[in-house]
Amino acid sequence: MLAGMTLRTTASRLAVIAGLLALLAGCAEPRVVAVRRMSGPPPVHGSEPAHGRYRVVAGDTLYSIAFRHGMDYRALAWINGIAPPFTIYPGEEIRFSGKPAASSAVERTPPPRPLPPARPAPSASPAGSVSAVAAPVVAPAPAVAAPASAAAAASAAATSAPADAATPVQSPPAPSRRVDGIAWRWPTDGAILDRYQANDPGRQGIDLGGRSGQPVYAAADGVVVYSGNGLIGYGELIIIKHSDSYLSAYGHNRVRLVKEGERVRAGQEIAEMGSSGAPRVELHFEIRRDGKPVDPLDYLPPR
């Protein structure tokens, strides 16, 4: 009987050991993680500084800072007490949360500029009198040769700039779709390469294919509130404000043709398509309502 009990005890222990080995083997089995390619501008990790603050650098606008952090520019202005026209200054600190400033109508002034270098002390002239302090040196303007005659002047003026330099390039009439009082049109020709996906930070708009240098048009009437390359992942970027609620963005351009503060019309050429900040030639196009991305295909006319 004692021998039988010993055998049963040994068998039980072996069963427990076998179970533990199987469990360890299961834990050691590698897991497969699916990796999916992200198109469009990548999410900017860590772009919001610690404590929810950001220090303004040259080239920033309130609109570009709000765009980068997915906020409504009006909320950002309210928190920081910045009144229209929402001017900000390099070195200024922007808060993303917290109690709003006491008054958004308080007039703000830029930080003081560095003092100019000290002027040299006056020196005595050979005659013993005190000479005047030298005036700041101003670089002369480039010399321009005067034309020999009125006819030559007219010819020089004609060749110095193209005749249509002051006339914005307008695309041919195109279908539009009116949403929330704004007539939207396609910002360029070309097939849709990638579509908007609400839950994907890398697909907050649509990508449109084309050739390098292809015209990019304003999708609706508005004012340019950002024209630069300071937003990581967007390359040469233009942001247009169409109303208090709506902005549109045009990324990866080769050349930007409009400046901040410029008023543009729907269909006006604002850039040339390119691949800045992207592995291929494309236009990344976004529409944002109250600071949040929306599907552009809900606003653009059907093709």
pLDDT digits (tens, 9 = 90+) for 20-47: 544 444 444 333 323 233 344 433 333 4
Tell me how far apart the alpha carbons of residues 130 and 120 are, in angstroms, rounded to a whole number: 13
Tell me how far apart the alpha carbons of residues 119 and 177 are, in angstroms, rounded to a whole number: 63
Comparing 32-41, 160-169, 180-189, 246-255, which segment has the lowest mean pLDDT?
A: 32-41
Name the residue among 234, 208, 239, 219 with its Cα closest to residue 62: 239
- Cβ-based burial of 280 (10 A; exposed 0-12, middle 13-18, buried ≥19): exposed
Q: Return contacts of 80-88, CB within 8 angstroms, 24+ apart.
A: 81/106, 81/108, 82/108, 83/107, 83/108, 86/61, 86/62, 88/56, 88/60, 88/61, 88/62
Average pLDDT over residues 95-120: 60
CA angle 203, 204, 209 (to 5 degrees): 65
Average pLDDT over residues 193-202: 92
Residue with tokens 């093709």: 303
Give the chain's mean pLDDT.
75
The token pair at 105 is 């109508």
For 232-283, the pLDDT digits (tens) are: 999 999 999 999 999 999 999 999 999 999 999 999 999 999 999 999 999 9
Q: Is 40 left (phi over 0), alpha (psi -120 to 50) or beta?
A: left
268 contacts: CB under 8 Å, gap ≥ 6? 168, 169, 170, 171, 217, 218
SS (H, E, C) 143-184: CCCCCCCHHHHHHHHHHHCCCCCCCCCECCCCCCEEECCEEE
Residue with tokens 């070309």: 190
Tell me how far apart the alpha carbons of residues 143 and 148 are, in angstroms, rounded to a whole number: 15
Contact, 114 vs 108, CB < 8 A?
no
Would you say how long the chain is, in residues?
303
The token pair at 155 is 């010819």
Question: How many other CB atoms are there within 10 angstroms of residue 11's CB atom?
Answer: 9
